[in-house]
Chains A and B, each alone.
Chain A
Amino acid sequence: MINTDVVIIGAGPVGLFCAHQLGIIGLKCEIIDNLDKIGGQCIELYPDKPIYDIPAIPECSGEELTNNLIEQIKPFNIKFHLNERVEEIKNENNKWVLKTSKSKEFNAPNIVIAGGVGSFEPRKFAIEECKKFEDKSIFYSVKDKTIFKDKSVAIFGGGDSALDWAIELSKNSKVTLVHRRNEFRGSQSSVDTVKKLEKDGKLEIFTEYQLSAVKGNSSIENIDIKHDDGKIKTLKTDYILGFFGLIMQLGPILNWGLNLDKKTIPVNTENFETNKKGIFAIGDICTYPGKLKLILSGFHEGALAARGCFKYARPDEKYRFEFTTSSKKVKDRLGVKE
């Protein structure tokens, strides 16, 4: 059981800045995120895209913004729990007990949900039969590449994951790469490598094709892929890999008894608390009259939510507002030497 003042769900920019604000006022926090890296949408969806509306930063990329935020919270030694999703929460003696997908338990008087549009999960094949082969013959990520040795593998997708695995697996497996259009969105060097491998007969490529049927009982026997013009091709394959990027799903948050408005959580604008005492929601996941889905709004929300957490974490103390420019106490927390 990990005891802390605040558990932040979501390691995107808004969660990170909230952690900073908690550090400034002397509260401890731990951050949990389902992705394998820090940065949320900024890093997963647009690491290279320039952002122009962060106050006082005329232009920066999602990656730069994330790195700066990580730098900014360094003094507080915040612990991250990545690749982990909060599955259940329950209230015990006015504290929240959280359980994650890795069976870790947290105990804290406050939860700050900075979950964006939900947790990222792989986009899966639309075909119903695919479900029964999932994690047996159909995978959306590779955990153990040795199972593909000397087998035939059909890889679907046009991004870097699809191309990289096509290149890697073509060394020891019979690889077929299938993509819905002629252009690949992966890096040019990977596209060139894949095309060269095709020319050398090391792998096969089918473009403007999509998966249309999967046949087999306990394991896959063959699959049908359908061309845009309706033509169907049957391929014998042992395994299927799908790399269609990630989609966002609200997931278990739906079951926590929070008020919901479509896919967002209504909060008050005084401290961004939800209908549950000690649970706050900030960033894209919260809603209130006039809500803007801007990173800068999330920063403001995080600053106020942090103050909201104070009263439950330190019920016997009075919160006192202090500036980073002048407070000795705050400077000590930041490790600033005078």
Chain B
Amino acid sequence: MPKIKYIEHDGKQHTIEVANGLSVMEGAIQNNVPGIDADCGGSMACATCHVYVKEEWFNKLPSKIEGEDDMLDMAFEPKKNSRLSCQITVSDDMDGLEVNLPKKQV
């Protein structure tokens, strides 16, 4: 299973094996990684699963679909490498993906 590294705002790291087909958000929620809220449950209707994707990974991920950037406008401190983690579906080629979590979600 691909390993995803979640890095909390204070630097604390969680490396989690996430099954293919789950989202990066679900990988965090199912394993109690703090710092991802996912209030809307993954329907791209909020911005509380916001993560910063490590630069070298950002361009390797499938690109954002329409609407994701609109939601990111509402996120806490969005940056160029911001993504909604509910919209990143884990696959084998994402082994080693690193995401940084923002200071807060709401």
Contacts and interface: CB of A to CB of B under 8 A. Distances in A.
Interface of A: 41, 45-46, 49, 117, 123, 126, 157-159, 179-181, 183, 185, 228, 244-249, 263, 284, 293
Contacts of B41: 284, 293
Contacts of B55: none
A41 B45 CA distance: 9
Interface string B2-38: 0000000000000000000000000000000000010
Contacts of A126: 76-77, 103
B23 to A, nearest CB: 15
A41 B40 contact: yes
Contacts of A123: 74, 76
A228 B45 CA distance: 25
B45 A45 contact: yes
B80 interface: yes
Contacts of A245: 47, 73-74
B31 to A, nearest CB: 14
Which 7 pairs from chain A and chain B are nearest by CB?
Answer: A245-B74, A185-B70, A45-B45, A117-B39, A247-B106, A293-B41, A126-B77
Contacts of B48: 247
A159 B69 CA distance: 11
A248 B47 CA distance: 10
Contacts of B73: 157-159, 179-181, 185, 244-245
Given A117-B39, A117-B40, A180-B78, A247 B70 contact: no
From B47, B69, B106, residue with most partner A Cβ within 10 Å: B106
Contact of A45 (B46, B76, B80, B103): B46
A46 B74 contact: no
Nearest to A244: B74
Interface in B63-84: 69-70, 73-74, 76-80
Contact of B39 (A158, A159, A244, A248): A248
A159 B77 CA distance: 16
Contacts of A249: 106
B39 A181 contact: no
B3 to A, nearest CB: 25
A123 B105 CA distance: 10
Given A46-B45, A117-B40, A126-B76, A248 B106 contact: yes
Contacts of B70: 159, 185
Contacts of B103: 126
A180 B39 CA distance: 23
Nearest to B42: A293
Given A117-B39, A180-B73, A247-B74, 13 more contacts: A41-B45, A117-B40, A117-B46, A123-B74, A126-B76, A157-B73, A159-B70, A179-B73, A180-B78, A228-B80, A245-B74, A247-B46, A247-B48
A263 B69 contact: no
Interface string B79-94: 1100000000000000
B74 A183 contact: no
A263 B46 contact: no
Nearest to B37: A263
B40 A45 contact: yes
B73 to A, nearest CB: 5
Contacts of B43: 46
Nearest to A49: B45
A284 B46 CA distance: 14
Contacts of A49: 45
A248 B46 contact: yes
9 contacts: A41-B40, A117-B40, A126-B77, A181-B73, A245-B47, A247-B46, A247-B48, A248-B46, A284-B41
